[in-house]
Amino acid sequence: MGDPTARAAPSRRFPPGPQSAARARRFVRAALAEAVPGAAPDLLDTAELLTGELVTNAVLHARTEVVVSAALADGGRARVVVVDGRPDRALVPQGHPPYAGAGQGLVLVARLASRHGVESGADTKAVWFELGPGEPSGPRAWEPPAPPAGARETVVLVDVPGALYAASQQHRHVVLRELGLAAAAGNGLVPAAELVTAHDAGNMISACVAAALRDGTAEGEIRSLALAVPPDAAGAVRTLARVLDAAEAAAREERLLALPALPRGRAFHRWLFGEITGQLSGAHPTAWTVVPREPGDGPAELAPWDPGHVRTSRVPTVAADEQNRIIAVNGPAADLLGWRADDLAGQRLTAIMPEHLRERHRTAFASLLLSGTPRVLGRSVPLPALHRDGRLVPVRLFLQTQETADGRTVFVAQLSPRASALGPAPPHTGRRPAGREPDAAREPASVRDPASAGGPAPAREPDAARGAGAGPAAPAADRAGEQRGATVLPALEGLSLLARTGAEIGNAPDLDDGLRRVGRLLTERLAEWCAVDLFAEDAGVERACVVRRGSGEPCAQEYQGRLPPPTEAARGPLARALSGAGPLLLTGPPQADPTSPLDADYRDLFERMGAASAVVAPLRARREVIGALTVARGRRERPFTEADLRLVDDVCRALALGVDNARLYQETRNIAERLQRSLLPVLPEVAHLELAARYAASSTTAQVGGDWYDSFVLPSGDTALVIGDVTGHNLDAAIAMSQLRSMLRGIAVDRQEPPEAVLRRLDTANHTLYREATATCVYGLLKGPEEGPWKLVHSSAGHLPPLLVTDDGRTRFLEDGSGILLSLDPDMPRPRASDAVPANATVLLYTDGLIERRDESLDDAMGRLGRFVTELAREPLNVLCDELLIGLGADSDDDIALLAVRPAPPS
């Protein structure tokens, strides 16, 4: 086989084993050195390299005897041919990026050879390349393989994210290659027959996806693929799944060089294999986008990672690579942490972490890469971030992984301040410049009159708003009216749209999600794309959301974010809508004043998104303009007409009400939490005691509640320790909590009585003033001289027992001293407990939000806390408290308060 012009070539047979690659390289070098006298060392080195790659491919994938020949072809080029016995096993170039661990062989041949190709016969397949003088072919694709012969079944993969597929495919090939090399060395981790089947199944899937991608017409990153697979492939795919599971286990035990897959990669492979086997058995397709999500492995963020998404996000966001380096950071995150964004880029992620958490982060990050087991991926975790000036900033961290377009992994962290809004705050002053009214009589003729505008895209208001000055536009309006019946939604559909608009934004967990939901609704029912622009607190304008039909998520993140400020020179449709004019009808790209950056930005949005007609209307709430809505249609759709303006105006009213309510709710939550945080005390400084405390609001409910902690030194020298929880998760609970805390302090300092007496007096006061304020509380006194010994005397009003952990990790819950809740019966006697506290032991007081879960008994929850604290017994208290929030408090739907104390004799 081969080029008929090639001269007779010496050849040699090699067995299907890994040692054949090295032997074939030596053979080719010797053969070419003899056939091409004076051959350059670079040519011989390149021939060796490419030969090794092709023979390795044949050993791994064909698994037959290999015949290698090398000689001088016509034209003075060196020619190498590698023949195997599997013509049915077509070449499938992977196109992996340079850093990939496998799949580079055919890429190297294509880039380094002057010519290359593949020829298949009845019983053999020959892959060849040529090196040397003459016109080089340059980098070019291999010829696509012919469709496999035999019967085929169609398996439909719905919503396949290309970047995640690329990353998973790379990992699959690397792992299978390592298993093959281990088996050849006699260290087989799986049965040889199963490994062969797994290789074949993996190659089959890669070939089917490559063919579907080549033949498909879908555009964009997320697409559905129809795979033509053999009808009997289910068994082989199940074997592949078992082999990969075994490989993952070996990788986690560090028995392979390859790192285990991250949770999302494992979840994607489970879905992929399940879809193939399930559909071959008659099941219906299930989209990847609806796979039930688990922390760290869900189908969120389908689009490949793009640094532009980070820069334009309004949520403080930091992205890091697999080397733990910051590769992107946006302005809100830089401002939150006191940095310039450019100064943070390139630093280790630990630069924004408190000193006491850095080593634990490095350990956890290495553990994630080595074991594939996540700690905080996909979870909402309260912890402190480090400001540049050294102070701690309380945030909620939400960390997830995304894949780049070429398959790498990026870790994207959103830092939600626990006491500030994520989005722009609601404005409190009118945004219309003084002296400007949304009156057509005050608008320049170039805007009102299409005949004198000098541009193709006049913006028109409804007849009632235009008044007599709009006469020249009337004929156009009449012509547009011919299509009114085709463009206006029926009355019932219009009412349904309005109702759903209010429901979508009203039921969303936050404003950004609500705007995305409304955007999807409007692009399903009314427009091809839409944009929402909102005023920020400083009177600037933010593009909050841009959604295109079918994209599901914001389709153009680069358009979101801060817009140029409105100025007197801005006279385009968006500027007018933000001043209160409209709704305005646009029959083409909007006019742009060359001196107005806002007008130019709006025109650029239209040109790049594509729009033949649009409506832009103001969003009004509480008699103020808070933003504008744009809905647009492309050239393939019927244009908007004046008959649509009333419906768009009604949609704007419903949307504006939802935006205003969401902002007010967010502002109320933040004020309440700031109020509660301001009530939390500063811990006292006691020479022989280490004290630490933490408070974290609920991750799911209103961010305020009745949890509190306190510590102070009594005139007697005893240190008071308090933890408590008022029933409820609202502002009333926070107010009651502050009153109880203040009363307890006053009673304790004034009376200096035993803990049970102080709690009884507190109960009497609480019952008199707040009969409905049910609460739990622990009041304890840590007694003892500076050099020890120490004891904890405490009484509990229905609260969870304190936990004592010694420095060698032994734990004990201090369950004596438990009594009834506050406000039930103030006359009921309260018990007292006294427990010795050894040196360097820790007493931990906590609220139920740390441990209680709906699907777990209280005994199991307390046991989990004890085991967790055992591992942290010798850590500094700041580390212990933060680790408790990270390990046990993530995603808690209740508030959490912690107070830890550790006595230590003077050194």
Which sign, positive or negative, has the C-alpha torsion 439, 443, 449, 453? Answer: negative
**Confidence label for 278 from pLDDT (cuts 50, 70 and 90):** very high
CA distance 106 to 447: 61
Query: For position 210, what pLDDT does the model report?
Result: 82
Partnered with residue 832 across adjacent β-strands are none
- Please determine, for residue 7, whether its predicted confidence score (pLDDT) is greater than 60: no
CA distance 94 to 247: 21
Run of H or E residues at 215 = helix 192-215
Q: How many CB atoms lie within 10 A of CB 717?
A: 11
Residues 306-324, mean pLDDT to the nearest whole number: 82
The residue among 581, 514, 498 whose CA lies nearest residue 547 is 514
- pTM of the entire predicted model: 0.66
Query: For position 139, what pLDDT does the model report?
Result: 44
- Please determine, for residue 147, whether its predicted confidence score (pLDDT) is greater than 70: no
Q: Dihedral of the CA atoms 661, 664, 669, 674 (nearest 10)?
A: 170
Residues 364-371, mean pLDDT to the nearest whole number: 85
Query: For position 206, what pLDDT does the model report?
Result: 86
Query: For position 474, what pLDDT does the model report?
Result: 32
Check residues 792 and 96 and name the one with the higher pLDDT.
792
CA distance 175 to 227: 23
pLDDT tens column, 802-839? 999 999 999 999 999 999 999 888 888 899 999 999 99
Query: For position 81, what pLDDT does the model report?
Result: 95
Partnered with residue 66 across adjacent β-strands are 14
pLDDT tens column, 893-903? 788 999 999 99
Listed in sequence order, the DSSP H helices in 508-644 are: 511-525, 573-578, 597-609
- Please determine, for residue 253, whether its predicted confidence score (pLDDT) is greater than 80: yes
- Please determine, for residue 446, whether its predicted confidence score (pLDDT) is greater than 60: no
Partnered with residue 545 across adjacent β-strands are 532
Query: For position 102, what pLDDT does the model report?
Result: 62
- Please determine, for residue 863, whether its predicted confidence score (pLDDT) is greater than 90: yes
Q: How many CB atoms lie within 10 A of CB 506?
A: 14
Cβ(313)–Cβ(330) below 8 Å: yes
Query: For position 784, what pLDDT does the model report?
Result: 92
Query: For position 563, what pLDDT does the model report?
Result: 85
pLDDT tens column, 667-716? 776 776 677 667 778 899 998 999 999 988 776 554 567 888 999 999 99
CA distance 175 to 459: 60
Query: For position 781, what pLDDT does the model report?
Result: 97
Residues 44-55, mean pLDDT to the nearest whole number: 92
- Please determine, for residue 459, whether its predicted confidence score (pLDDT) is greater than 50: no
Query: For position 1, what pLDDT does the model report?
Result: 44
**Confidence label for 47 from pLDDT (cuts 50, 70 and 90):** very high
Check residues 147 and 878 and name the one with the higher pLDDT.
878
**Confidence label for 437 from pLDDT (cuts 50, 70 and 90):** very low
Q: How many CB atoms lie within 10 A of CB 166?
A: 22
CA distance 660 to 506: 10
Q: How many CB atoms lie within 10 A of CB 567?
A: 15
**Confidence label for 862 from pLDDT (cuts 50, 70 and 90):** very high
Cβ(243)–Cβ(249) below 8 Å: no
- Please determine, for residue 306, whether its predicted confidence score (pLDDT) is greater than 80: no
Identify each DSSP E strand in 299-364 by its residue range: 317-320, 326-329
Pick from 76-90, 245-259, 550-564, 782-796: least confident: 550-564
Pick from 132-141, 230-239, 277-286: least confident: 132-141
pLDDT tens column, 60-101? 888 889 999 998 887 778 899 999 998 877 776 665 665 565
Check residues 219 and 411 and name the one with the higher pLDDT.
411
Query: For position 467, what pLDDT does the model report?
Result: 33
